[in-house]
Structure 1
């Protein structure tokens, strides 16, 4: 019998790559996807552990890129989908280029939603499957100086729970992973290295990945990775959003924009 298949997006670095390593240890064949050539090197590392790994370089902000990924699956049943691909974007909203914030929305929201619908239809039809969506505790907080990104994560956090409810009478599971700041390429790519959160100590992506995998295989609705993040998530529900937004300024406002200390 063929191994089960896991499809992991955003797997060239960071949390996605660490989840791919777990899937290899658990005996899955992999299709790993990212929008950069580095995905081939990541696949090579995973193959070194004896895994059957296919890499796909595709623009997951577009329907065409997601269709390219699905074509690589070749009709094979997807047992696990990790919808992890995502982009960040720092600085004030008014100075961001339209093309930049649109790509964040198209990747995090539009492309992810399209892929989820395509794969979940197949999983529900055969009444089997596991989905892990990488949301964020950022989705619980109005993201001053990171407004578009936090908005997309709020969407994903909400979408995961909505989909879970809609398919609750099936054997298909949807879990949302809500990490906090994690030691990945995110902050460099988002232009946030000169912010308090960009300069702070961050979570180990391997630990975050394991928390997400364990929650998904345990069929839990969500997991917030890390004790401090769990506390922050809990506080976000009882703190007025005006205060949350101000506290987020203390994390995400660039240091050269004036005083930006404190934070959530």
Structure 2
């Protein structure tokens, strides 16, 4: 009985996309600060993540939930059990490489429904809880990709532009409510994203990337301070600043060079292509 009472006195955080990468590291930040956590992702690896996080000493509830669907969002909300929610890290996201007309439209829909529709649905549900309790902190994982027309990643970059913009608007709608909204806008980060998005054969997929633990820590600390935005790393800050003053045509062409698939190298001794 005492253990149950103790658990219910701890603050509660919800972290989506928490099976690996930035989401998992955000969940680690939460448990190390004494939060119970509800973590969700659409893959079985979420249970492995939960076992690792439980070693930190707080209560961890793991959900294999597809947050691109209303049912997945409802799973997360049901798992809250009527408890107050102190932190929401809306991190679930999906990428998709290659040219728009070469992509399967079902996969395009999945990106939009995960990154935009599902994220908004969860923010709407949990946001009502936080506004009613007049306290809470929200972290939305956007991206500096939202500043750039994403040639060969057009849908993904557009969804991140949506989230970057939306986070500012929501922050100001809630400015007197006791609820803060922070947008984490990382650059390329060492996660499974590039493999899942079929981008490993691109310059973008092959370039050096940031440490997800460091990105998550910077984002978590900014959220806890109630800041409006954070771009981790000086190089990403520079890229974001340059994007603000560079013509969209130039940005789109630069991105094409980074994100289009690279031709495979011919085997040694092979005759040149005709």
Q: Do they superpose with TM above 0.5? A: yes
Equivalent position of 1:30 in the other structure: 37
Work out whether 1:142 is the aligned partner of 2:132: no
Separation in structure 1 between the aligned mates of residue 28 and residue 228 of structure 2, nearest angstrom: 23
Separation in structure 1 between the aligned mates of residue 55 and residue 171 of structure 2, nearest angstrom: 35
Deviations 1:224-260 (A, max 9, x none): 01110000000000000111101111211111299xx
Tell me how far 1:75 sits from its aligned partner: 1.0
Equivalent position of 2:11 in the other structure: 4
Work out whether 1:230 is the aligned partner of 2:237: yes
Equivalent position of 1:120 in the other structure: 127
Work out whether 1:44 is the aligned partner of 2:51: yes
Separation in structure 2 between the aligned mates of residue 227 and residue 249 of structure 1, nearest angstrom: 23
Partner of 2:263, secondary structure, is helix
Larger radius of gyration: 2
Aligned length, in residue pairs: 258
Deviations 1:42-71 (A, max 9, x none): 000001121210100101001111001100
Deviations 1:61-93 (A, max 9, x none): 011110011001111111000000000000010
Equivalent position of 1:204 in the other structure: 211
Separation in structure 1 between the aligned mates of residue 56 and residue 82 of structure 2, nearest angstrom: 25
Using structure 2 for the length normalisation, give the TM-score: 0.93
Work out whether 1:156 is the aligned partner of 2:170: no
Deviations 1:92-117 (A, max 9, x none): 10100010000000000000000001
What runs of 5+ residues in structure 1 fail to find an aligned partner? Answer: 259-264
Partner of 1:255, secondary structure, is coil
The 3 A distance-change label for structure 1 pair 108 and 257 is farther
Separation in structure 2 between the aligned mates of residue 121 and residue 52 of structure 1, nearest angstrom: 24
Q: What are the residue-to-residue correspondences of 1:93-112 with 2, within 5 Å? A: 93-112=100-119
Using structure 1 for the length normalisation, give the TM-score: 0.96
Equivalent position of 2:248 in the other structure: 241
Work out whether 1:76 is the aligned partner of 2:120: no
> What's the RMSD between the two structures over aligned residues?
1.1
